[in-house]
Amino acid sequence: MLTTQANKGSKVSDYKLPSEWAPQDGIMLTWPHHDTDWAYMLDDVEAVYRELAKAITSRQQLVIVCHNDSVQQHVVSLLKDDGIDFDRVHLVQAPCNDTWARDHGPITVLNQDGVPCLLDFTFTAWGDKFSANLDNDINQRLFQADCIADVPKKRIDLVLEGGGIESDGAGTLLATKKCLLNPNRNPSLTQTDIEQQLSHHFGLQRILWLEHGYLAGDDTDAHIDTLVRFAPDRTLVYVSCSDPKDEHFRELQAMAQELTELKTLDGNPYHLIPLPWPAAKFSAEGERLPASYANYLIMNEVVLVPTYHDSQDAVALAQIRRAYPNHEVIGIHCLPLIQQYGSLHCVTMQLPKGVLKPRSC
């Protein structure tokens, strides 16, 4: 574990990266379609998206990115069948390679008055592993949509995915070195260069780097949102593995030890809440799938948690209730999502308060 203090000599943005539990206007989804890797199981994955749409629109607004007019009409038909309140739904057309909104969606920062600025970082599908040319342009299409408020928007020449960072909303960023410092992201930048950019764009006081932690089957090079999450009141929620025979055991034990050594800005240890380890899940081809309970979504007064028809589902929900006592905790069946090596948090992006216009679009 390494803690890096923000460079006092560099200019820090007037904007700060909020926590995920800060007030939100809505959630963004990018809908799956026949030209994505979901084509062979589209009905199954759309069932998850429909369940997400119900849960999201029961609390706040929902922005859905649709690949084209045909997909948009299809989405409208599905959501009407589900009785979704369309006063809370905004449809935006933008061609897309895939559906991982957490990583291609905008990252929002707020100034002291709570006015948001939408940051459009460069998305390369986790180091050019897959095609991402369309996904990388989604935010520019989104920024022109009628539902987006007239707030600052910036395109930034730094490869960064939303799933790779965790913020406590008070100036601390948590990330893994395996991901953010991977040479497949920003090969011309040193660790110091990356730290300076992150501190500038997010108004950071420090960055907490984790050396350990990974999930088999994960394409992201150890995104933090599959491993460790911030929660209110100096709390960290993390995946744990109690099975010495599992390939993750030693690495996740080492990560847990790192977390015990972390300190808050005022020098106190974090309150640690472990999440259980689900039974190993495999694809039809026998590949290990990255089932993680840490990949949950925090919304206004509710946390949506991925479940996997596993005996540990109930334990995970109970642990997350401990971490977010002021939120309702709801399980969403996500076995279909991990077939493409992501989960619930990966397919969503929160839009903080002020991002959406108050009227319907």
Beta strands at 288-289 and 297-299: parallel, antiparallel or unpaired: unpaired
The answer to whether the pTM exceeds 0.75 is: yes
Please give the pLDDT value at position 358. Answer: 84
- Which whole number is the average pLDDT over 63-67? 98
Please give the pLDDT value at position 327. Answer: 98
Q: Determine the residue type at 241.
A: C
- Which whole number is the average pLDDT over 131-144? 98
Please give the pLDDT value at position 12. Answer: 55
Tokens 């206004």 correspond to what residue? 300
Q: Is the pLDDT of residue 22 over 80?
A: yes
Position 9 confidence tier, pLDDT thresholds 50, 70, 90: very low
Q: What is the DSSP letter of 160?
A: -
What is the set of domains in the chain, with CATH numbers?
A: 2-352 (3.75.10.10)
Using an 8 Å Cβ cutoff, are 34 and 42 in contact?
A: yes
Structure tokens that stand for 191 in this block: 């660790």
Q: Is the pLDDT of residue 330 over 60?
A: yes
- Which whole number is the average pLDDT over 82-110? 97
Higher pLDDT, 7 or 17: 17
Using an 8 Å Cβ cutoff, are 122 and 89 in contact?
A: no
Calculate what percentage of the chain has a pLDDT beyond 70: 96
CA 322, distance to chain mean position in Å, is 21
Q: Is the pLDDT of residue 359 over 80?
A: no
Position 360 confidence tier, pLDDT thresholds 50, 70, 90: very low
Q: Which are the contacts of 289, defined by CB distance < 8 A and separation ≥ 6? A: 217, 281, 282, 283, 338, 339, 341
The full DSSP string for 64-118 is EEESSHHHHHHHHHHHHHTT--GGGEEEEE---S---HHHHSPEEEE-TT--EEE
Q: Is the pLDDT of residue 2 over 70?
A: no
Please give the pLDDT value at position 13. Answer: 67
Q: Is 199 helix (H, G, I), strand (E, B) or coil?
A: helix
**Per-residue pLDDT tens for 242-276?**
999 999 999 999 999 999 999 999 999 999 999 99
* Averaged pLDDT score across all residues of the chain: 95
Residue 9 has φ and ψ, to the nearest 5°, of -85, -10
Please give the pLDDT value at position 1. Answer: 52
Q: Which of 127-131, 350-354, 355-359 has the lowest mean pLDDT?
A: 355-359
